[in-house]
Amino acid sequence: MNPLALIRPNIAQLTPYSSAREEYTGTTGIFLDANEFPEGKYNRYPDPEAKAVQSVLAAQIGCAENQLILGNGSDEIIDLVQRAFGIPGTDSIIVCPPTYGMYEVYAKINNLECIRIPLTGDFQLDIPQILAQKAKILYLCSPNNPTGNELENIEILLQNFQGIVFLDEAYIDFSPSNSKNELLQNYPNLIIAQTLSKAKGLAGLRMGMGIAHPEIIAVLKKIKPPYNISQTNQELALQALQNWDATAIETLVKERDKLVEGLKKNPSVRRIFPSVTNFILVEMTEADRIYAFLTGRNLIVRNRSKDVPNTLRITVGTPQENELLLKTLAEFQ
């Protein structure tokens, strides 16, 4: 299929705003072109595409630079895709709950119908029900939040879904499986989102990325704000990426496994759902009471009982934080 045929006609015809830093890309000279204040440490507008960060990320991910767009968190990528492809008041998206809630929130903001096809009892995709629907965008999260598991049969959907397949890989770095970015060459309707907020430990910088066919990336860049990544965030992200130690993930995964073993010994724990992420979804005897108890002890977990009954989502912390959590849970009566 040709994903470019799915773009909103007004977006396809859009002439994007041309910023001063796009018209002149040099780094030296007397800059009198952007109405900036003439003095100051951060008086100049940043690189509109954050090319230095983009170059490092492309090398680490294993994609071409023209397959990459950076966003103010991967949330911005979610929104950009809806605005590029979804005609307000006409088109639909599909989400598969329980999953990340911002797909549906942005659909409401962009006036797109949201079709909910729940995951099966073992938190897998209901392929027949998904393919029975007509929608512009299908949002998948794998590994999934809040369930923690990987979704199966994604390629079947890529082969058969007649729209954009948006695959959110925010937690892929914690998984033993590789990113699905090698499928981009065979499926031009695939868009992958990743983030620096999780495994890279840069949630405060708000930087995410979209990986897709170069022609889709070019469309998304037409509609993004001209300077969506600040200069300070570009500098800090570049420094962190160049000095990133991948062994930190190995340490966290070991801590996750230790935390699981500790939780198994607690009588308030009914079930621990398998996780390949940096969090654990746990079914409790009295999730609401335990949540309140932990919060009262200044231990903040996430109550996900509205999405999966009687569950708490526990992020893996430091060894000391995890031990304190287990100790405090043991005191619950």
Instruction: Give the domain ranges of the chain.
Output: 3-242, 247-330
Least confident of 19-28, 48-57, 217-226, 304-313: 19-28
Provide mean pLDDT across the span 89-114.
Answer: 98
pLDDT digits (tens, 9 = 90+) for 225-251: 999 999 999 999 999 999 988 899 999
Provide mean pLDDT across the span 134-146.
Answer: 98
pTM of the model: 0.95
In sequence order, what are the residues at sequence separation of 6 or more whose Cβ sits closer than 8 angstroms to the Cβ of residue 145?
99, 100, 170, 171, 277, 279
Identify residue 22 by its one-letter amino acid code: E
Q: Would you place residue 276 in the very low, low, confident or very high pLDDT band (cuts 50, 70, 90)? A: very high
Q: Is the pLDDT of residue 32 over 90?
A: no
Q: Which residue has the tokens 């999966």?
A: 308
Q: Is the pLDDT of residue 155 over 90?
A: yes
Provide mean pLDDT across the span 132-138.
Answer: 97
Instruction: Let me know if domain 3-242 sits in CATH 3.60.15.10.
Output: no
Identify residue 260 by its one-letter amino acid code: V
Rounded to the nearest integer, the mean pLDDT of the chain is 96
Distance between CA atoms of residues 324 and 318, nearest Å: 10
Q: Is the pLDDT of residue 132 over 90?
A: yes
Instruction: Please tell me the predicted confidence (pLDDT) of residue 303.
Output: 98
How far is the CA of 299 from the CAs of 146, 209, 263, 324, in angstroms?
19, 31, 15, 9
Distance between CA atoms of residues 284 and 310, nearest Å: 6
Residue 253 CB-half CA count within 13 A: 16
Q: Is the pLDDT of residue 27 over 90?
A: no
Provide mean pLDDT across the span 266-274.
Answer: 97
Instruction: Please tell me the predicted confidence (pLDDT) of residue 206.
Output: 96
Distance between CA atoms of residues 109 and 88, nearest Å: 9
Given 3.90.1150.10, 3.10.450.100, 3.10.560.10, 3.30.300.30, which CATH number is that of 247-330? 3.90.1150.10
Distance between CA atoms of residues 266 and 253, nearest Å: 21
Instruction: Please tell me the predicted confidence (pLDDT) of residue 28.
Output: 85
Provide mean pLDDT across the span 187-192.
Answer: 97
